[in-house]
Amino acid sequence: MPRLTVKVTPNAKQTEILGPVEIADGETALAIKLKAPPVDGKANTALISFLAKTLGVPKSQVTLVRGKSNRIKQLDIEGVTDEQLAALS
């Protein structure tokens, strides 16, 4: 199952994908701005909804694996290929 690493910025004016950014030692993540605030899991819910809609899969196929309370998050996404994830950037 493809795993996506993202760097989230909550409280943005609009939800959008910014592109790849370096996070540590050559590792990259997909930078995403979220309109939702980081309160009561709202940003995580908005991230899952946004990625599901963008990739054309049900929300139930997007699982937050790591980073529930961090800006760096990892998500498993069923029903997509690594190429589809790479095309997001």
Domain CATH for 34? 3.30.1200.10
Q: Global pTM?
A: 0.95
Residue 76 lies in a domain: no
Residue 72 lies in a domain: no
Residue 81 lies in a domain: no
The DSSP bridge pattern shows strands 3-9 and 27-33 to be parallel
For residue range 20-31, what is the model confidence (pLDDT) as tens digits? 999 988 899 999
Residue 63 lies in a domain: yes
pLDDT attached to residue 26: 87
Question: Above 90 in pLDDT, residue 75?
Answer: yes
Residue 77 lies in a domain: no
Kindly provide the residue ranges of all beta strands, DSSP E only, lying in the chain, ordered along the sequence: 3-9, 16-24, 27-33, 62-66, 72-77
Domain count, the chain: 1
For residue range 5-51, what is the model confidence (pLDDT) as tens digits? 999 999 999 999 999 999 988 899 999 999 999 999 999 999 999 99
pLDDT attached to residue 24: 86
Residue 85 lies in a domain: no
Domain extent, residue 38, equals: 3-67
